[in-house]
């Protein structure tokens, strides 16, 4: 049997078309986009063409896209620079307890500098209350950072409602949309989003490249200092081959393609849950099935250690995970599940994340489900 990869929420395989265009750029467009000679101008033109493609995908101005190294840099830039540049207006920040580590660890860093951070709770389905956001807002709140879609349970956050709420408040609104951009139609201006972080490797693009959307209406100092690239907003020579690959990945994500993937992944989930029911396997889906990204399925298998289950599946050529890839190799429990259920709930050590993507088909899902059921039964013997 061929290996089955079902950990697309951690990273995605690079699309063949992306590999092709990156190879071409590496071979043929090696000029520095900041150079004024022919080679540099050629690279610069390509850079700006890609910027237009990406801006169009969000319905924003070309100028509002800043190329960078990915989601972590985007989150750090948005949060740290917003906080530091506005500390005279206030030192209170708001986020949620279920954010990606790129946000949570950045908030902890700012706390060490004297900032006060409110970590909003979620309910047992992983949902955030807009009323809690409203209650947390203060005169000295300068930033609200709420992820678009959760990377562990898939829950979609009430971004539009928060954007509407902040229309009458001066706080900057940032969202980490790394996990959601590949499947959701996101229009920042319509949603009231000021800053939005994206990483290419979540959409079948290359690792180490991404972009930050910055609303022209807000100011944001550069996080990196050096050259005057990206209109003085992000120092460092642009990774043109990586950016070209990201641009191609974005081109492939048409509205029709996103809808097709949504329906396909929803079918995959139905297959898995239906077969689990037939096999009388005890399980509970973590998160809110009515408000989530279709490609993520987080399941609690009662009485089955998630670490043991992953080990058995890996030996059989199946890749899933227990949660965020950024905590891989650690023994720390999921902070998302802890926020939902409390620290001692059995789901924390008995849950796995299955995430679908490019290359998966119904045959694979059927094979995976059969292996999963067989493995769970063996563990529980």
> Considering 19, 26, 279, 326, which one is annotated as catalytic?
326
For 227-268, the DSSP string reads S-HHHHTS-S---HHHHHHHHHHHHH--HHHHHHHHHHHHHH
What six digits make up the tokens of 70?
A: 């990915």
Q: Classify residue 70 as left (phi > 0), alpha (psi -120 to 50) or beta.
A: left
Contact 31, 347 (CB under 8 A): no
140 three-state secondary structure: coil
What are 156's strand-pairing partners?
149
Helix then strand then coil, % of the chain, to nearest 5: 45, 15, 40
Q: Which 3-state string (H, E, C) describes 148-200?
A: CECCCCCEECCHHHHHHHHHHCCCEEEEECCCCCCCCCCCHHHHCCCEEEEEH
The tokens 């992944």 sit on which residue? 265
Distance CA 299, CA 353 (A): 6
Q: Is 326 a catalytic residue?
A: yes
42 three-state secondary structure: helix
The tokens 């908030």 sit on which residue? 107
Closest to 204 measured CA to CA, from 364, 359, 5: 359
The tokens 């930050």 sit on which residue? 212
Point out the residues that are catalytic: 326
């Amino acid at each position: 049997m061929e290996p089955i990869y079902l950990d697309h929420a951690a990273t995605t395989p690079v699309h063949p078309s992306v590999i092709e265009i990156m190879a071409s750029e590496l071979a043929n467009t090696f000029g520095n986009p900041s150079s004024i000679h022919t080679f540099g101008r050629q690279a610069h033109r390509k850079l700006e063409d890609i910027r237009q493609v990406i801006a169009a995908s969000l319905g924003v101005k070309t100028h509002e896209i800043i190329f960078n190294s990915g989601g972590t840099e985007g989150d750090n830039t948005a949060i740290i620079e917003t906080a530091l540049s506005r500390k005279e207006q206030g030192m209170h920040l708001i986020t949620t307890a279920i954010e990606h580590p790129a946000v949570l660890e950045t908030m902890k860093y700012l706390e060490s500098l004297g900032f006060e951070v409110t970590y909003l709770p979620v309910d047992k389905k992983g949902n955030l209350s807009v009323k809690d956001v409203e209650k947390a807002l203060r005169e000295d709140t300068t930033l609200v950072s709420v992820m678009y879609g959760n990377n562990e349970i898939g829950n979609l956050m009430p971004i539009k409602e928060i954007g509407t709420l902040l229309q009458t408040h001066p706080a900057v609104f940032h969202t980490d949309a790394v996990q959601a951009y590949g499947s959701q139609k996101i229009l920042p201006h319509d949603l009231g989003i000021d800053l939005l972080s994206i990483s290419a490797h979540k959409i079948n693009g290359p690792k180490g490249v991404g972009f930050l959307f910055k609303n022209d209406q807000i100011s944001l100092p550069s996080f990196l200092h050096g050259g005057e690239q990206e209109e003085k907003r992000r120092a460092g020579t642009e990774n043109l081959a990586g950016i070209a690959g990201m641009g191609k990945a974005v081109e492939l994500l048409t509205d029709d393609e996103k809808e097709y993937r949504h329906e396909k992944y929803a079918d995959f989930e139905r297959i898995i849950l239906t077969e689990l029911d037939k096999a009388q396997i005890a399980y509970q889906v973590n998160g809110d099935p009515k408000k989530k990204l279709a490609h993520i399925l987080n399941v609690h298998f009662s009485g089955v250690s998630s670490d043991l289950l992953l080990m058995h599946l890996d030996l059989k050529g199946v890749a899933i995970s227990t949660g965020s890839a950024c905590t891989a190799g650690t023994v720390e429990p999921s902070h998302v599940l802890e926020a939902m259920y409390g620290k001692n709930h059995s789901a924390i050590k008995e849950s796995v994340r299955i995430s679908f993507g490019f290359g998966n088909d119904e045959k694979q899902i059927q094979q995976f489900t059969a292996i999963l059921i067989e493995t769970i039964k063996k563990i529980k013997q």
